[in-house]
Structure 1
Amino acid sequence: MSRINDALIVQAILTAPGWARVGISDPTPWMREDAAAELARAIRMQVDAPEQTEAAQRQLTL
């Protein structure tokens, strides 16, 4: 599990589906709840994703 920081959350929100980003401000409560749940899923997926390493930092087998 990776460490959660502001940049990770920002990236997750910006890559979440557009309907969820717009739906969070919808006047109907059920749409706001569905949108919030989708944003939470996007953040969780970003946090649970394996960390990307640069090729130069990968360990070589002996």
Structure 2
Amino acid sequence: MDRDRLSLILQSAPAWVRLGLTVPDPRLRERAADALAATIVERLDEPIRIEDRNQLVLPL
């Protein structure tokens, strides 16, 4: 795992998870941290998709 991939995973995490890490309620912070960890683990198993900007998008 590299830093760029982890950054993309964190940015694509649900908004409530990212905000939940900052709330004063410890239970909500724990739920948000668990959800963020689950998101990271789930997305790490996905293949890396590198889009070629020179490839034309054709309808199927």
Question: Which range, TM-score by smaller chain?
Answer: 0.7 to 0.9
Which of 20, 27, 32 does residue 29 from structure 2 map onto? 32
42-51 or 10-19, which deviates more: 42-51
Gaps of 5+ in 1: 56-62
Gaps of 5+ in 2: 53-60
* Superposition TM-score, scaled by structure 2 size: 0.74
Residues 53 and 11 from structure 1, CA distance in 2 versus in 1: closer, same or farther, beyond 3 angstroms? closer
Q: Percent identity?
A: 33
Higher normalized helix content (fraction of residues): 1
The one of the two structures with greater contact order (alpha-carbon pairs below 8 A, sep at least 6) is 1
Residues 54 and 11 from structure 1, CA distance in 2 versus in 1: closer, same or farther, beyond 3 angstroms? closer
* Superposition TM-score, scaled by structure 1 size: 0.72
Q: How does 1:3-22 map to 2 (within 5 A)?
A: 4-22=1-19
1:12–1:46: 8 Å Cα contact kept in structure 2? Answer: yes
46-55 or 26-35, which deviates more: 46-55
Count of paired positions: 52
Aligned equivalent of 1:46? 43
Superposed CA RMSD: 1.6
